[in-house]
Amino acid sequence: MPKFSEAVAPSQAFLYGEHAVLYGSPALAMSVDIKTRARITEVEDKIIEIKSDKFSQGLKWRYDRERPEESPLFPLASGLMDLMRRYEFNRGLMVEISSEVPVSSGMASSASTSAAISAAFLSLIGEKPEKSLLLDIVYDFERRIHGKASKTGPACAVLGGLVWVEWRDERMEVSRIDPKRDLSIAISCSGLPSETKKLVSMVSKKYNEMRDVMERIISAISIVTLEGRRAIESGDLVRAGELMNINHGLLSAMGVSNHVLDDIAWMMRKFGAYGAKLSGAGGGGCVIGLSDDPEMLAKNLSASYLSFAAKVSLEGAKVIK
């Protein structure tokens, strides 16, 4: 039987602070119990093969002689190659990815996939990394995939729970916080792709063109995020929801919402969500609604948009085989 290892990692819902976190603001996100699984099998030749149930075409090449083709799986392949070099692994690998996380949805499917792959690879070679090392590895993958990125998605995928990201001395620090009450959300997908790299550079262009305006929006998001943390830690979901609504408005002002995302957010509020906002880079992807009854909220939205309920994943990336 060839040597193999398998790991799972959760995804993310951004409660407060996306985009602004790339400009020095804090962020608060929830690790979501919708997961990616990666199975890695050692193979004889110097072949790497990556297959994912999210893409019809896989990627396969001999890494001692060829470069992998351009493919949506290419950034994962190059992250994996980096990891192999770092640990002086020079045999072949077959990577099989299966994921419940919609791609380009703002749910950090890339961080969830990178965390599952990294955890499975390290277990295959007999390493038991500290969480902080795994987080750094997944953050490397994330920057390779998106260019500019925060540690929020990697932290949700690696640590689990509610993740707080803040800047100290020009460095992003990550910790977990405890909500006073259990948090549950409904997630509705717009059906439009959320292209993180494109949106991050669009916001950066706007920042350079209208620095005064953008700095005020970012500073308002920063206050909303700090207040949102307080509301969640004290169990005040009404206030937490109201702050999510404000955060959505500020993201609209930044130019990353659109009429579909606004429509979903308004439907969620109409159907009783404490609050609703786009999650992640925007431009498409998902909207999240904070609710005591996320199944009912998702059911109400599901005639128009693919919708489901989600809970906090208390566990981060984990080796299962």
Binding residues (CB under 6 A) for ligand MEV: these are: 18-19, 21-22, 106, 108, 149-150, 152-153, 196, 200, 280-281
Give dist(CA 303, CA 110) in Å, integer.
28
Instruction: Name the residue with tokens 């795994």.
Output: 134
Q: Which is closer to ligand MEV, CB of 92 or CB of 154?
A: 154
Shortest gap between Cβ of 106 and ligand MEV (angstroms)? 6
Q: Which is closer to ligand MEV, CB of 134 or CB of 256?
A: 256
Q: Which is closer to ligand MEV, CB of 200 or CB of 246?
A: 200
Nearest to 129 by CA among 91, 175, 83, 76: 83
Shortest gap between Cβ of 6 and ligand MEV (angstroms)? 26
Distances (CA, A) of 107 to 42, 205, 206, 285, 321: 30, 24, 24, 8, 25
Q: Which is closer to ligand MEV, CB of 26 or CB of 68?
A: 26
Shortest gap between Cβ of 153 and ligand MEV (angstroms)? 6
Shortest gap between Cβ of 296 and ligand MEV (angstroms)? 27
Residue 29 three-state SS: strand
Shortest gap between Cβ of 157 and ligand MEV (angstroms)? 12
* Angle at which helices 196-209 and 131-146 cross, to 10°: 70
Q: Which is closer to ligand MEV, CB of 45 or CB of 215?
A: 215
Shortest gap between Cβ of 57 and ligand MEV (angstroms)? 25
Shortest gap between Cβ of 18 and ligand MEV (angstroms)? 4
Give dist(CA 321, CA 316) in Å, integer.
16
What is the DSSP code string of 57-112?
S-EEEETTT-PPPS-TTHHHHHHHHHHHHHTT--SEEEEEEEESSPTTSSS-HHHH
Give dist(CA 257, CA 278) in Å, integer.
7
Q: Which is closer to ligand MEV, CB of 93 or CB of 243?
A: 243
Residue 19 CA to its chain's centroid (Å): 13
Shortest gap between Cβ of 14 and ligand MEV (angstroms)? 6
Q: Which is closer to ligand MEV, CB of 41 or CB of 247?
A: 247
Q: Which is closer to ligand MEV, CB of 84 or CB of 101?
A: 101
> Residues near 217 by Cβ (< 8 Å), separated by ≥ 6?
20, 250, 253, 254
Instruction: Name the residue with tokens 């590895």.
Output: 137
Count of CA atoms in the C-beta half-sphere (13 A) of 274 = 23
Q: At CA 116, angle to CA 112 and CA 117, rounded to 5?
A: 115
